[in-house]
Every structure is written in C-alpha cells, then in structure tokens.
Structure 1
Amino acid sequence: MSSLINRRQFLKTVALSAIATELPQIAIANPFLKTAVKPPRLKVGDTVGLINPASPIEPKDIAQVQKTLASLGLKVKLGKHLLDRYGYLAGSDRDRASDVNAMFADASVKAIVAVRGGWGCNRILPLLNYPLIQASPKIIIGYSDITSLLLAIYAKSGVVTFHGPVGTSTWNPFTVDYVKRILFNGEAVTMQNPPNAGIKVEIITPGKARGKLAGGNLSVLAAMVGSSYLPDWKQSILFVEEIGEEAYRIDRMLTQLKLAGILNQISGFIFGQCTDCQPKDNQPSLTLSQVLREHIQPLGIPAWYGSPIGHVKDKFTLPVGVQVEIDANKNTIRMLESSIK
C-alpha cells in the first residue's frame, strides 16, 4: 500500500514539475474566487524555498536568511537563479519566474520566502503558472516589490498570500511572534501596535468594518492599476505602506486608485506607515495627513494611519484574501478566520 502512495506522490510531483516548465504562461484568470484557497501550515522541520524575484542580492544575504530560518526550525532550499544579475534585476524575467514556478511545483518545499524586494516582480506576472499555484498552494511571504506577486497570485489563483517580512528583514521578537502564530499555529489573531513603539497614529475616520484584507506597497499597487492582476476590491479592507515618497507622490498614487474606482469599493482603509516621506528642501507641501484626509474621509469608511506594516522593523504578517474586522478607534486588525489549513 505504501508503495502505491509513494508512486502516486511521485506522479503528482512529476506532473506539477512538467506544468512549471511551460513558460511563458498565458495569464489565465480565475477571477476573484469567492472562496480563498488556504495553503498548508508550516511545521518545524519543513523546507522553505528562497526566491529573489526583484533586485539582486549578495551571497552574504543568503547566509543571513538561512540563519534566520534555521532559528525557526526550518530547512532551506535555494532557487536556481537566486544570485543571478541582469542590470538592476536579479536575473532575466524568464529565470526569475522559473524559480517561482519551480518552488510551487517542488513537493519538498512547504513555503516560499522572497529574500528581498526592489523592482522587477511586475515584469514576471505574465510568466507565472497560476493553475499550478492553485493546484499546489503554499505560503508565500514578502513585502515591498513582492506586493505584486502577492496580489497577482491571490487574484489569479485564489491562494491566500502573506504580506510580511522578506528574508533580509529584521526578524525581531515582535515580527517572529506574528509569523509563528499565523503561519505555524494557524491562529486567527488580533493585530495590535507594539506598546511604547512610538508609532504615530492618526484616526482618519472612526468605526469598525469587515472585509477581505488586501494591499501592500502603494507605488507597486498603483503601477498594477489597469492590469488583470489585481483582485476584486468590493468590500475589501485596503492596507498600504510606503517609503521615501513625498506627500505629492502619495497624493498622485491615491488619486490614481480613486480614478480607477478602487477607493469607492473598499469598506476600510489602513495606511501602515510612510517611512522617510518628509518634503525635501523645505518646498511648499501639503502634509501627509491632509492628503489622506482629503482622499479617505469623503469615503465615510473606518480608516487610520499608523500600523507596523512594511518598511519598519516591527512587522505584522498580513494574510491577503482573508476576512478581517478592523477597528479604527483601537487601530486593530482582527482576523475572522485562520489563513492556513
């Protein structure tokens, strides 16, 4: 009996691997699945695949990530093109996409971690094998430029993805606690700002709201508008974060989301943090607070600024595609279901 089971597993692995090699892939929409596909939970001893789908890394970065994941009891498998370079990209589009597809096809890999962000993920979206990803759902986690992978995979396959630390992030106790509770334990947690962390919080509109959680880096999200790689925003809780963008740029990107009809569909809004977003050279400027209030307050939905999301040391792990309830008065995000199975 065991030999029959092993043979079936072998055939499944071969079939998935064959699918993964069919590049380029046509972006087959499985549009806006009503039921999210939840990936299996992580366990101590599991193997995690490392990918680098955006900007280049150094060999020392890999050693750092291996050490971090080993501290969580995880083994590491390196993507074939992890150290490739092609100008400002971590290898050719085809090769970077191939690493993503190969990790989903590999039965020994239980989760996928992006080493870093940068730029390049939008370029590989048409080359990802979404039917394969749907057939072999796995945890995939990252932030910044990885936003496009997280949103596209969820939109095209229905698989829940995770906006959280990349491999080279600061995996401090706060960050690791959410990773363990959500990805290992399968808890439906309530996310709260760390005490005494000095996070500036501003309530834009008070109240509570429920909806599917989705979002990521604002500039990456804005660059995807008009494509088929974004999810259905109806009754969603939109979270965004940013780094190094002045208020007028935030204004421009939020205006783009507004003109695209995205802001009018959401039921709640969170701007995590805007790191290093002050006006340069004392030029006249609206404040970030003014920009957020002008765009978000007229929507009449619960909203606030100030959560540990994105380019900060303390990070939530946010499941994209899972139902949550937010409380703008308390600045909390309460998961209404587990994000894994």
Structure 2
Amino acid sequence: MSHIYVYSPSSAVRDKAAVRRGIARLKAAGHEVELDPATFATHMRFAGDDDTRLAAIGRAAASGADVALITRGGYGLTRLLPRLPYKAIDQSVRKGMRWVGLSDFTAFQCAVLARTGTVTWAGPAVGEDFGTEGEPDEVMQACFGDLVSGQGEGAGWRLPVSERVEAMRPVHGVLWGGNLAILVTLAGTPWLPRIEGGILFIEDVHEHPYRVERMLTQLLYAGVLGRQKAIVFGHFTNYKPAPHDKGFKLGTVIDWLRSQVRAPVFTALPFGHVPTKVALPVGAEVHLAVEGRDAFLLWGHRH
C-alpha cells in the first residue's frame, strides 16, 4: 500500500516490544515499513545524541517514503529546532511525504510551519497507537488509512450537550497547534508560527488543570489566543485532582478562557494521548463547522 519510514526524533524507545508490535501491524496492513538504523538508539533519555537524531530526520526526508512516522514522543525535538533540515523536509512534502506524529512532535511541526509554511500531520505514533497489547483503536486506524491514501477530507466529533450550537457560520482559517506545553515552550521564539485568524487545537497529558490554565495565560498575554478565530480542546489526560482544588477542574479553566477571548471555544476533539485520535493537517486551511452538537473540521481532498 504505502512506504512508511519509522524513526525516533525525541525520547529513547523504552517499550521496544510495543514498537515492534506496531511495525508488525503496519506490515500486516500491507504497508512497506522501513526502520531507521537509529530507531532504538539511546543516549541518556534521548533516542541518540542530537547529531544522531538529526541524521535520522535527514534520512527520513531523503527516504522517498509516503509517510514519516515517529516511534514515540517524549522530549528532545526543541533542542534540535535551529538545526532541522528545513529545505529537505519541505522538498519531501512537495514530493508527497506526510510527516506524522504528536506530543513532542509539536515542536517539529510548529518550527517547520514557521520556517517554510509546510503542512505536516498531527496523528498517531507507532508504539503508543499501533503497538497496543490489544487491538488498536478503529477510528485511529481508519483516519491513518485515509491520511496514507490521501483520501482524508475532514474530521467530525460530538460536542458536549453544554456546547450545543443552534446556528454558527463556518469558521475558516489555518489549523495549527498540538501539545500545549510545547506551544508555550515555543512562545517568544522564532519557532512558534504567527498565525492570524487561525483555528488552534490543543491537548496535553499529566498536566493538572491549574497548570493548563497557567499555560493558557502565557499564550493569552503573549497575544497568541487573541489572534485566533476558534480554539478547540482535545483531550487532557492522566492528571490527579487534589483535595484543595475545591471544585477547580478543567471545566473551570475552559469557562475562564471563554471569558477572556472572543473566539468560540469548543471541546472533545478526538485527539491527544488517547486511543481514539483523528489525523489533522497542521498548517492547512480548514473550515470549522458546528451544527447542534456535531462539529466538523473540513479540509477537502488533500495529499
């Protein structure tokens, strides 16, 4: 079906069995899977030292693959941003390659978008998504299949009852975002794209709601949120409430944000550190449409 290049640009692979299961499943689905020689490299907490991981990215760009897919996120890409092979990445996309990942990969995506305007894809990772002990999520697999085949035209999801919209004109803008902690890390640097009138989507993991709010205040006060036409929350997972929260929760943060920005704020986008995740074209022009509780991000036929 497609040629998939698997590489490790961030943290070292700790669960090698999961990555191998993911590779086996991709092959069973008919894909040709090429494994970067440094996929399982280790240097401290990283998948090889900086030069090793930069070389892996360069090999991915030169591979001629249809998809470059990360093994996992973690940490490591922010320290590589000044040295990424931007021209090679841009050229690979022009030839049809889709760069796919999430979490720490947000740094790569934002920097590439800021430097070149190139579209990459927020989507699954080999270990976390294809390497599960049970059967991988059907929605994730279907969306990845659409991405690989170039047939994906949009993503839809169901809003909470409280966000039901009777009538809203579709919002048009550049879709961008990803992991909130990474976005905040890039604020004030050349690697955060300056998107005017965009549709920002965010997600995170292991971040208590008060920390989510603190990060959002940074983007608010930096003027980032005020420039957006819409803000869409994905999933924020794996945090523990504290007894002294006394009712302070993620919903509190979302309500506060709505009081601070003019743009509509929606939730429940199926994306983040969760099994069910859609594939999203970061940097592409999209339409956000909402009717009742049905929300849609539409980008048409895009290779």
Query: Please, what TM-score do these two structures have when normalized by structure 1?
Result: 0.79
| Aligned position for 2:207 | 245
CA deviations over 1:239-278 (Å, ceiling 9, x no partner): 0011111111011100111111100100011111111234
CA pair 176-74 structure 1, distance change in 2 beyond 3 A: same
Look up the SS of the partner of 1:192 in the other structure: strand
Residue 334 of structure 1 is matched in structure 2 by 297
Q: Report Cα offsets for 1:172-229 as digits up to 9, x if no partner.
A: 2111111122331423124224xxxxx8675398844221110101111111111111
Match of 1:267 in 2: 229
The question of whether the paired residues in 2 share the 8 Å contact of 1:134 and 1:159 is answered with yes
Equivalent residue for 2:133?
none
2:34 matched residue in structure 1: 77
- Report whether the alignment pairs 1:132 with 2:88: yes
Contact 1:201–1:307 (8 Å) recurs in 2: no
Note if 1:149 corresponds to 2:108.
Answer: yes
Measure, in 2, the Cα distance between the counterparts of 1:51 and 1:86.
15
In the alignment, structure 1 residue 220 sits paired with structure 2 residue 182: yes
Q: 1:92 aligns with which of 40, 49, 54?
A: 49
Alignment length, in residue pairs?
290
Letter in structure 2 aligned against 1:76:
V
Q: SS of the residue aligned with 2:126?
A: coil
The 4+ residue runs of structure 1 with deviation greater than 4 A are: 199-202, 281-285
Q: Which amino acid aligns with 1:101?
A: G
Q: Which residue of 1 aligns with 2:23?
A: 66
d(CA) in 1 for partners of 2:294, 2:120: 22
Partner of 1:203: 163
Offset, 1:297: 3.6
Q: CA deviation at 1:88?
A: 1.4
Q: Is the 8 A contact 2:163 2:293 kept in 1?
A: no
Aligned to 1:322: 284
- Is residue 235 from structure 1 mapped to residue 182 from structure 2 by the alignment? no
Distance in 1 (CA, whole Å) between partners of 2:42 and 2:246 is: 40
Q: CA RMSD in A?
A: 2.1
Q: Work out the CA distance in 1 between the residues paired with 2:216 and 2:138.
A: 33
1:21-62: per-residue Cα shift (whole Å, max 9, x none)?
A: xxxxxxxxxxxxxxxxxxxxxxx1x32111111111143233
Scaled by the length of structure 2, what TM-score is found?
0.88
- Does the 8 A contact of 1:205 with 1:302 survive in 2? no
Closer, same or farther: CA 247–184 of 1 in aligned 2, 3 Å: same
With over 3 angstroms needed to count, the CA separation of the structure-2 counterparts of 1:205 and 1:287, relative to structure 1, is farther
Give the structure with higher Rg (CA): 1
Matched residue SS, 1:326: strand
Q: Deviations over 1:262-300 (max 9, x none)?
A: 001000111111112342344446222122222234322
* 1:205 and 1:301 in contact (8 A); partners too: no
Q: Where do 5+ consecutive residues of structure 2 fail to align?
A: 130-135
What does the per-residue CA deviation read over 1:3-29, in whole Å, with 9 as the maximum and x for residues that have no partner? xxxxxxxxxxxxxxxxxxxxxxxxxxx
Q: Which amino acid aligns with 2:140?
A: T
CA distance in 2, matches of 1:238, 1:252: 17
Structure 1 unaligned segments of length 5 or more: list them.
1-43, 194-198
In 1, Cα distance between equivalents of 2:164 and 2:232: 9
